Structure 1
Amino acid sequence: MAIDPTRFCLNRKIAPRLSLEAFFQLVQRLGLNKVELRNDMPGGRVTDDLSADQLRALTDRYHIEIVTINALYPFNRIDDALLSRAEALLQEAQQIGAKALVMCPLNDGVALSSAQTQAAMVQLAPRFAHYGIQGLVEPLGFPVSSLRSAVTAQQLIAAAQLPFKLVLDTFHHHLYEQAEEEFPAGIDINQIGLVHLSGVEDLRPTAELTDEQRVMLSDRDVLNSVVQVKRLEMLGYRGVYAFEPFSSQLDSWTPAEIERQVRHSIELLQA
């Protein structure tokens, strides 16, 4: 399975202690050019202490493409605060040249209906269009999530004729018990806008897995992320794969260890 290296992306979660410039340098050393930035890093801002112009100067210097800002949360519980966050993130995405904004559903055990989630998408869509930013809906597979199913998310988007696409995450796919039952007949591969990759080696019950167990890909990955990718490729997916590990152990990884882990994960996917 040969995947063009330009389709690989690094989510900033993989290097939580690096400055943005050091992160971009790391991406460049790996021969990659795509990143996902975040609004939940230790500094609290997407651009750390940089202005939008300063960040764009860095992306130009290191030939970096900002695939997304991650994330608008909880996109499906609309109130004035959420709309303000959406407006600010969309404006920032436009200013720094990010192509898309990831949208994550409420994930605290409060149930929201499919109709509520769809209504939220309908209300947000004109704002995304105004700024020229792609909306990417990411179902979360946790038992407490209000939107767990990738197929349901796509159905809600299609039924309302919205311009949003799906983020398919191999970790969250694994957590959702009915994912494999729904996926083969229900997924529209052409409406997947991004795929998040991580690996889990922890053998605790699936329902007990959290972001803390998410590392990089390996031969011991219980998520079978490599198998998931092979199926996506077979079905015709030709979009971006973003490595998105979450474990706190990444705090201690040196740039050299991050490079080693990324290269190994890519090797597994290219085998």
Structure 2
Amino acid sequence: MVAPQLPLPAFFSLARSLGISSVEIRNDLPGLPILDGTPPAAVRAFAEEAGVAILSINALQKFNHWSPERAAEAEALADYAAACGAGALVLVAANDGTGLDRSERVANATQALAGLSPILSARRLTGLIECLGFAACSLSLKSEAVAAIAAANGQGAFRLVHDTFHHRLAGEAQLFPQETGLIHISGVDDPAVAFTDMRDSHRVLVGPRDRLDNLGQIAALRAAGCRALLSLEPFAEELRTLADPAKAIGQSIDFVSDALEERAA
């Protein structure tokens, strides 16, 4: 999402030009792999030519609404992930206002993880569970995901995504650093929008005006021993028309890196 206007080879080259050796790709961008039908072998070749590793594919949507159709979708996406060289598949909880009852939330996720475990393990993939902080999400707290992992005996197969935007919106205090396998970062600069009204369209690159306390969240995770990689996940439309995306992305990376070094000093 940091530069979806770029063809995939150009995106991989952009990453390398910024000194980044691991990237996350998506399956929901029209006109780009995976939706455009590009075979996974081609994606693997693009990545190898650029010298980058594909960390994960983002994402299997509504993973916790398990059904034969969802299982088939998971198998197809897991096949693609394995064939293109990805190491993980992000699993996003349903965000459509269904499955919200407290009695359903962990039970539905547990059923899904039990079904996903053999699919992912057969392809040597890790499942990265992403909880969304929106009120309409059926799995908004990472504590619920941790409970589902335990109930499904999936400690070896699944890890958490700590998304700084969704963590702030969910209002969850616990960080679960040891269970975290990936950190999504994005900022919200708009001073007028209330936290309850924040949406993906408000998410920009992390900078000095960020209201989500990205630096505090990342620093706390690091201090607790979490070494998960950071993946930039801004969605704001203004980022799609940048004349020089490399400059903006590089500035954000430098801001985060320098600020974290200052905190650790």
TM-score normalised by L of structure 1:
0.88
* Conservation of the 8 A alpha-carbon contact between 2:71 and 2:115: no
Amino acid aligned to 2:68: D
Q: Unmatched 5+ residue regions in structure 2? A: 259-265
Q: Give the CA deviation at 1:159.
A: 3.3
Partner-residue secondary structure (3-state), 2:160: strand
Q: Secondary structure at the match of 2:208?
A: coil
Pick from 15, 19, 22: which aligns with 2:3?
15
Shift of residue 47 of structure 1?
6.9
1:269 is matched with which residue?
Answer: 256
**Maintained 8 Å contact 2:28/2:35:** no
Alignment partner, residue 88 of structure 1: 76
Match of 2:21 in 1: 33
Pairs aligned (count): 251
**1:20-57 C-alpha deviation (Å, 9 max, x unpaired):** 01111111111111111111102264274532222222
DSSP-derived class of the 1:14 partner: coil
CA distance in 2, matches of 1:216, 1:44: 22
Partner of 2:25: helix, strand, or coil?
strand
Alignment partner of 1:175 is 2:165: no
Q: What SS class does the counterpart of residue 112 from structure 2 fall into?
A: helix
C-alpha distance in 2, partners of 1:14/1:123? 32
8 Å CA contact retained: 1:194, 1:241: yes
Q: Which moved more, 1:226-235 or 1:45-54?
A: 45-54
Give 1:121's aligned residue. Answer: 113
- 1:244 aligned to which of 212, 233, 240: 233
Of residues 123, 138, 141, the one that matches 1:146 is 138
Partner SS for 1:217: coil
1:109 aligns with 2:97: yes
Q: Which structure ranks higher in relative contact order (CA pairs < 8 Å, sequence separation ≥ 6)?
A: 1
CA RMSD, 1 decimal: 1.5
User: Structure 2: how far apart are the matches of 1:134 and 1:43?
Assistant: 27
Q: 2 CA distance for matches of 1:130 and 1:201?
A: 42
Aligned to 1:131: 123
